[in-house]
Amino acid sequence: MNFSSLLKTLFLSLFFLGTINAQNSNQLIIFHAGSLTVPFEKIISGFKKENPGVEVLKEIAGSRECARKISELKKPCDIFASADYMVIDQLLIPQYADWNLKFATNEMAIVYTDKSRRAKEINQKNWFDILLDKNISVGRADPNADPCGYRTILTMKLAEIYYNKKGLAEKLIKKDQEYIRPKEVDLLALLEEGELDYIFLYRSVAEQHGLKFLLLPDKINMKKSELEDYYKQISVELNGKKPGEKISQEGSSMVYGVTIPKNSPNPALAKKFIQYLMNKEKGLKVMQEFGQPTVVPSVCDAYNKLPDDLKKYALKKK
């Protein structure tokens, strides 16, 4: 190969590498909870309009499953938005992420359709009797894959206390185990097709899909931060970071969290997305529109590790 051919080959190689880097600099990989599917679709669309040329790759799964894709499978991820901020604390910090910003809330509800058996009867006083009816089919999410799954079990345990029905939680947990799915949105098709009569689901998802839902008392639905100590009296055992390890998940008010994992291929663009998400006139406005009240700013345990330009979305722990 002569000198001019060598220069040409080198130039083409550098050009090719530069093109790849340019493409990668405009690519954003987002892992998010299934319950964020509808609002995030609109938020991502708005972000792309403000940032022409950005390509967003999404992976939607239960929040604990998303976290394990980062920690165990080492999959690249720029943004991880979890239905429970504690998933980030428990499974990613400090090895795979430094910090965690809280941004929205939700509440548990019992969701159904016009086709659901006994739909005209169900209310706050009899829902558990109807769900235990052997002719009624009930679905829920996997507690080890999805916060909605363990929140369902916590809801059942809180209901046992609230209604003073000893053994209620165990009866509800044992029923219809064949209808446990990896994430809560997997249950929607089964409900809409009539294979399931009722599912435990977030209120926001029910509203977004135009489904009927029964609101539960505040001492059961886990939406009130003022009842944090009350919710903490119950817990559920979940798989931990390592195989065979178990952790205890206490009851708590529902708060969503978001982080930029340490393995982020594009942290600069990820930070721009967080700023869009946390903007009251942009991302947070969409969250409100789709039935998820926002909690920005909230206390951040790792406030000192937050990038300086993200600290305005958090409060320092006293």
pLDDT, one tens digit per residue, over 128-143 is 999 999 999 999 999 9
Q: pLDDT tens across 155-191, in order?
A: 999 999 999 999 999 999 999 999 999 887 789 999 9
How far is the C-alpha of 223 from the C-alpha of 105, rounded, in Å?
7
Residue of 42, 51, 33, 68 whose CA lies nearest to 261: 68
* The predicted structure's pLDDT at residue 18: 41
Model pLDDT for residues 88-126, shown as the tens digit of each residue: 999 999 999 999 999 999 999 999 999 999 999 999 999
- Local structure of 26: helix, strand or coil: coil
Residue bearing the bigger pLDDT, 182 or 23: 182
What is the pLDDT, as a whole number, of residue 186? 85
The H-or-E segment that residue 81 falls in is strand 79-82
Q: Kindly list the distances between the CA atom of residue 253 and the CA atoms of 85, 231, 306, in Å, as whole numbers in the listed order.
A: 11, 7, 23
Domains in the chain, ordered, with CATH?
3-105+255-316 (3.40.190.10), 108-239 (3.40.190.10)
% of the chain residues with pLDDT over 90: 88
* pLDDT surpasses 70 at 4: no
**What pLDDT score was predicted for residue 24?**
63
Torsion of CA 189, 30, 207, 135, to 10 degrees: 30
pLDDT in tens, 142-156: 999 999 999 999 999
CA distance 232 to 126: 25
> What is the C-alpha to C-alpha distance for residues 23 and 269, in angstroms, rounded to an integer?
12
Q: How large is the angle between the packed helices 37-50 and 267-277, nearest 10 degrees?
A: 110
The pLDDT, as a whole number, for residue 84 is 96
d(CA 227, CA 250): 13
| Distances 291 to 2, 7, 128, 188 between C-alpha atoms, Å | 67, 59, 25, 18
Distance in angstroms (rounded) separating the CA atoms of residues 154 and 228: 13
**Which residues fall within 8 angstroms of residue 184, CB to CB, at 6 or more apart?**
34, 35, 62, 140, 141, 146, 148, 149, 199, 200, 201, 202, 205
The C-alpha atoms of residue 200 and residue 184 are separated, in whole angstroms, by 8
Is the pLDDT at 272 greater than 60? The verdict is yes
Phi first, then psi: give them for residue 242, nearest 5 degrees: -110, 155
